[in-house]
Structure 1
Amino acid sequence: MRPHPYLRAYMAGIVVPTLVLLVSMTVFACFRFYFEVPSQFVLEMPVWPLARAIVFPMAVVPNVWGLWNMLYLALRSRVRLQLGLHGALLPLFLIPGGVALTRVLDVFTIQLQYALPIIPIGMAIYYLAWKFVVGFLNEEMGIA
């Protein structure tokens, strides 16, 4: 058996959000700097708060995914929960945490009543991503 299963679980967990954030930042930068499209056409908010709001998830979300995958590896012998369901629970922490963080840092204001309907959509997307992509990566890393 290969050593360091938690390191391999962390690495398998950070792949998906890192690639998604890399593509989204590339699209944002192309539209913002190359095509010179102001962000008001995409979202109704000033330019710099949107740029500040994108930077923080780029640092936090991949690390949370890696730690969440490590938690799954640690708990799977005690708690029988499918990987997709385990991943679907993550938006229950990320979305309210993100809303609270935007209030604390005064980046922009999102009211929780408007963010709550997004939680089931996020849970469905996370379920599919964790079941198929992270599950595949866990198998490739030898920790499934």
Structure 2
Amino acid sequence: MITHNLNGQCYCGNIQLEVGLTSAPLAYEPRACDCDFCRKHGASYISDPQGFLRIHVNDEHNFGKYRQGSEVADFLLCRNCGVLVAVTFQSEGQLYATLNSKVIDGEAHFGMEKTASPKMLAENQKTERWKKLWFSNVSICIDKNKQKNN
């Protein structure tokens, strides 16, 4: 049961997020991935396999996906302001995601960050772990009405 709804966005507001959590934010310990990409973005991730993540994109042209080194997951970034908002991967038609906790608006206080080292895991170990930990109720909506005319 969803008990906490949070909102967030990238710096410029092009990518907006709605998150539903089944516990208080303090119960979540953001995972600070130690790969070079995540470290350079200062990202630490939260997820709730019983919760939900809604991603709304205002301008598709400024919505970027970066495929990480092992070609398994996509990093979702705003091309306008450069903020890394989430990571997704797909398995058997199911979309999974984890959220960069730094994009949450307001006074949501999470637990202490923990270092995660997915680069130490084999691909199948990563994906099995992600299936257990990440949001599985994920939607990405791109607003076709707000696209800029060229």
Q: TM over 0.5, yes or no?
A: no
Compare CA radii of gyration and give the structure with the larger one. 1
TM category (shorter chain) comes to under 0.3
| TM value normalised by structure 1 | 0.28
Query: Which structure has greater helix proportion?
Result: 1
Higher strand share: 2
State the TM-score, normalizing by the size of structure 2: 0.27
